[in-house]
Structure 1
């Protein structure tokens, strides 16, 4: 049985990590197949080491293309070591970020070219595309306000040093991606209360995974 590859995307402050923490146990309870949650950058031992380099706030001299290449390298190792084996085993793989993040953050945010970053990542992934992407959308000002309000509760990384203009470019790129590929990318309003966002995500997953769904779980 072929597995199902689902990604979650969103700008900073969209609440992906919190949503996934609440969502995954509910999803796993409803499905007849195993659910594997993973993340990017990271997800595999070598990829996690690259994550440390990328997100270390001390690495202010990192060039934008170096950053994009490191994300692609981390992604490649994660894909071959974790994602592909799980998909071959028939699992439902849920990944916190994938190629769309690089297109939005490095391509648009860093302004090095969305098409160039996409091409780089198509090489890194061998063209692997998620079956379904849940995009949690939040205005940049709202997302940044959330980050500041919870700064003591989360890791401060290099991306947190960026301007609102950077984050607005990132969000605009995500919205373009969602408009260009509505069959794959489902947009969820992440300004709603957390419980409503989780419920909306679960409903979208129910529709997509209907054949594996256990109604009475």
Structure 2
């Protein structure tokens, strides 16, 4: 063991790596309870739970490597991305847990309007960029049957080896949600990989996926900037928004 690595740290939760053990510390113990329940119900590989305490969960490392990171080209093959798509389809086809997940409803619409106003008023983004992406995001507000969704399916959370999915991390947002949100989150900043994902996933709604790219990015820019992350980094959220222009 060479030390302790801080994987993620903000006011809600911290993830530390100690050797091959990942420790997640959450300010809301109920969120860890929901995460453990979602992992137990998921029909795809997840990290092994080593032990639990009220505000801490210890997870074992997964074999393989993540599909990539936001802002950098993915080293994974098209077959690995297709395998990720197939795993997501398996998840979406499984009866969902009772917990609500990510959906585009009235509350999200209200949050979006607020964020768009603040982004422009604070001079963080140009009005034309915000208005264009607000229009694209509208397609996410459509009728959609809630399915078993991961809720935070970033490419750093999906591990593959030999073009097979070895596990998916971070189920803290899992619940009944819009399946296109999962696909959009996985391909955010890697739009060129959407075709590979859908070759494994099957029929989907590309318009809704593009809408979620804009919606997620608009909602996240200020939060990321306020929590020590850089949404302006190449390939990240602001570049995703600029691509819609």
TM range (shorter): 0.3 to 0.5
Higher helix share: 1
Larger relative CO (CA 8 A, sep 6+): 1 or 2?
1
Higher strand share: 2
Which structure: larger Rg? 2
* TM-score normalised by the chain length of structure 1: 0.34
* TM-score normalised by the chain length of structure 2: 0.31
